[in-house]
Structure 1
């Protein structure tokens, strides 16, 4: 029987070390090549532009990541906190992460590596009154006055709750016309405001950006986002931040006509299952759980908000169990996945590793506070698995009724995850994969004609035998076949 326990605390030292092993060296592009479209997004949260450019070239591209999501690039208020980037004071591409020239150089480097760039776009609001003085690049501003950009008439003044802040999330008017945490709420229904916002987004498109994560989309009517999208100079990928709230009048489904929507229930439910419930329950995970349709859902185990503000969320601190949850996400066909890449923090307001002026330090993975989960072996190698199995369905599902599951993806891949407190030994698994020898990508990878880790042999009838340690997994795919 499974037990309700803090799983990270009971992971064996050997398995934890295996699952959190980092991939510090990169295979050549020919070795790292994968079949099918590359859809996995790496969210390099608060990385500076020089570091993003380097990571696209040295790791994300060769490892098969299709997109990199970067933090807001516009001028923002001054400060050390992470959230200053979400308080614009102008639309100049000048921030603690770098200059306009560095941003454009980053986009070019990522494109050369085959990685598309998604910008976290803050279009719902400007700054709040907790900060003051000039912005990062020297622009003057006050709460409702941004010279040359917006004045008081360009903002909502909802007249509620004494300070115009949102209090009641069951009131659609409040959520979309009052202020989120005192942030000056733009009147996105006004033509002038829409034109200014579209000007900012089109400026980013002129620098080569491929898509936008629309921050705080729930606080704007879906029609306002549609009006912005109609003003864009070309088609782009768009994903909207709409946090589901039980019984609330504003729902994620309202926004699917504009593009993808974050399915926040996914990570919350996955954490609960991996921590306290049965993996066997995941056999219909996704639309079978009442989520939005898979083709418009963006999913993640955690993001920069949930890892700070949602109790129970799996994060880098959960080590091996976090790696397993990400491996499941990358193997499971629901939605398009985003892998979080964090920095260490002890306080929810703590900003990225920075110098005394607030300028973000270069990201050197696994040192200086940068956790780089996108490089963890069990996560990074499952990106190639995802690319290999794209377009295939789930086959040969198995579960023991509790914490041991296994499933295939068409004839292209197979994974088994054991979250029991004991090893599963002497068991065989049935796949639809061609006979041959494959690298177990959870514990190693293909290197030329050999594997750096265990080899799994699939026989002529599609069966293979393997042992799976407690709180561990084994995964194979056609891109990791060595004979």
Structure 2
């Protein structure tokens, strides 16, 4: 089954439908859409989607409920089914400057519901829009997370994230979250990304992921970690307490170090065995996610563009995990990012890498050669990946054992061919390049 997931970051739902043929042709098996819960329809800033006003309404700058229904139908029909995952924001509600800022959606919105009944009836997900959803009693009101408190799990779960009102895991809040997800599942969503999940209690997570009605969906969380202490305090408990998948931040940090100055590609040979990657069946792997370009505190995590290319070859070539490919519309405020991820989803090298990934799924990974600057591994007899991070060409003599012999292989990124025969063959990998060889 195809499992590469396109993160259609800040794409309008109609735009996804318009580009669905290209998305299918590129080999994607799933699409992660931005948070669909009600946010300011006039708010074109991407972060508006992460500030929900009301669980009971599907309406934002990106479209409404009818657009989502059309998207689900289009993805689930056609030549191959594409899974659709919704980004869920359940830790908090919108940070709004109004007197009743802990009432949601608030008196002004309730009046708008009454003034525009057709609009909100069309976009209603569930519930009675004549009544409020949350009141001050539904929020922790424990203040902001500050300084050293970011390392304390209890504080991170109970206090506000950047001024965003933090929801309690009370019976009423849990009921509304359950009803919201139930309605999304009934619409046809195949899975969910849970935003800021390290800020959410185990009770709140289990209320959704452990519910029998939702258990067959694909669930994954953003457990953002950047240090060994973060992994101990947040990630390890998450893995023990839930069955959900998570962004593979340990692997991402290993990739950063391996491609960094003085780093070694040997670290990427078997990272899970060294505790530097999540288990293969619980990992959502990535090279770029939306927080890294847009949050000034994380921009130092960005790889050099060519290293980013090599890292994508690695996550799409290796065995394990669900690869997530980020593609945006130049939302970054930094000029240096201009066009870097625009239409990234269909860039020829990425499409070639996805073709390799889809062709070798299920084939075991075996290391053929490793050094500080060169990593070569095979996937069964079907394929072989070579990554050279150095500034000079690397040549290595390799055994044909485990590969098709004799066998004709085609390199998908550059288009060369190679015939293997005998006991050994010589592989030449140009400077700062990746190769993905596929049988046939």
Per the normalisation by structure 1, the TM-score is 0.76
For the residues of structure 1 that align with 2:399 and 2:299, how far apart are their CA atoms?
36
Contact 2:252–2:286 (Cα < 8 Å) also in 1? yes
Query: 2:376 is paired with a residue of what secondary structure?
Result: strand
Question: CA separation of 1:66/1:427 partners in 2, compared to 1, >3 Å: closer, same or farther?
Answer: same
1:395-442 per-position Cα deviation (integer Å, ceiling 9, x unaligned): 24202x321121101112101112221123585563623233232111
2:249 is aligned to 264
1:7-54 per-position Cα deviation (integer Å, ceiling 9, x unaligned): xxxxxxxxxxxxxxxxxxxxxxxxxxxxxx212111111111111123
Q: What is the Cα deviation at residue 460 of structure 1?
A: 5.7
1:236 is aligned to 217
Structure 1 position 180 matched with structure 2 position 158: no
| Counterpart pick for 2:141 among 150, 153, 157 | 157
Structure 1 position 283 matched with structure 2 position 264: no
For the residues of structure 2 that align with 1:332 and 1:243, how far apart are their CA atoms?
22
2:174 is aligned to 194
1:49-64 alignment, distance < 5 Å: 49-56=13-20, 58-64=21-27
Query: 1:251 is paired with a residue of what secondary structure?
Result: helix
Structure 1 position 327 matched with structure 2 position 313: yes
Q: What is the Cα deviation at residue 268 of structure 1?
A: 2.7
Contact 1:166–1:181 (Cα < 8 Å) also in 2? no
For the residues of structure 2 that align with 1:177 and 1:426, how far apart are their CA atoms?
54
1:462-477 alignment, distance < 5 Å: 463-477=424-438
Q: What is the Cα deviation at residue 55 of structure 1?
A: 2.8
Q: Between Structure 1 and Structure 2, which shows a larger proportion of helix residues?
A: 2
Query: 2:233 is paired with a residue of what secondary structure?
Result: coil
1:292 is aligned to 278
Question: CA separation of 1:275/1:131 partners in 2, compared to 1, >3 Å: closer, same or farther?
Answer: farther
Contact 1:272–1:312 (Cα < 8 Å) also in 2? no
Question: CA separation of 1:420/1:370 partners in 2, compared to 1, >3 Å: closer, same or farther?
Answer: closer
1:64-101 per-position Cα deviation (integer Å, ceiling 9, x unaligned): 21111111011113534221110000121111111211
Structure 1 position 417 matched with structure 2 position 392: no
Contact 1:268–1:312 (Cα < 8 Å) also in 2? no
Contact 2:250–2:276 (Cα < 8 Å) also in 1? no
Query: 2:326 is paired with a residue of what secondary structure?
Result: strand
Greater RCO (Cα-Cα under 8 Å, separation 6 or more):
1
For the residues of structure 1 that align with 2:300 and 2:145, how far apart are their CA atoms?
27
Contact 1:240–1:255 (Cα < 8 Å) also in 2? no
Contact 2:246–2:284 (Cα < 8 Å) also in 1? yes
Q: Which runs of 5+ in 1 are unaligned?
A: 1-36, 354-365, 444-452
For the residues of structure 1 that align with 2:280 and 2:220, how far apart are their CA atoms?
13
Question: CA separation of 1:466/1:83 partners in 2, compared to 1, >3 Å: closer, same or farther?
Answer: same
For the residues of structure 2 that align with 1:131 and 1:148, how far apart are their CA atoms?
15
Query: 1:344 is paired with a residue of what secondary structure?
Result: coil
| Counterpart pick for 2:235 among 252, 258, 279 | 252
For the residues of structure 2 that align with 1:322 and 1:60, how far apart are their CA atoms?
21
Q: What is the Cα deviation at residue 470 of structure 1?
A: 0.9
Contact 1:456–1:464 (Cα < 8 Å) also in 2? no
1:75-224 alignment, distance < 5 Å: 75-77=38-40, 78-91=42-55, 92-112=57-77, 113-129=80-96, 139-140=109-110, 148-158=132-142, 163-167=143-147, 168-187=149-168, 189-224=169-204
Matched pairs, number? 402
Question: CA separation of 1:131/1:267 partners in 2, compared to 1, >3 Å: closer, same or farther?
Answer: farther
Query: 1:286 is paired with a residue of what secondary structure?
Result: helix
Question: CA separation of 1:230/1:467 partners in 2, compared to 1, >3 Å: closer, same or farther?
Answer: closer
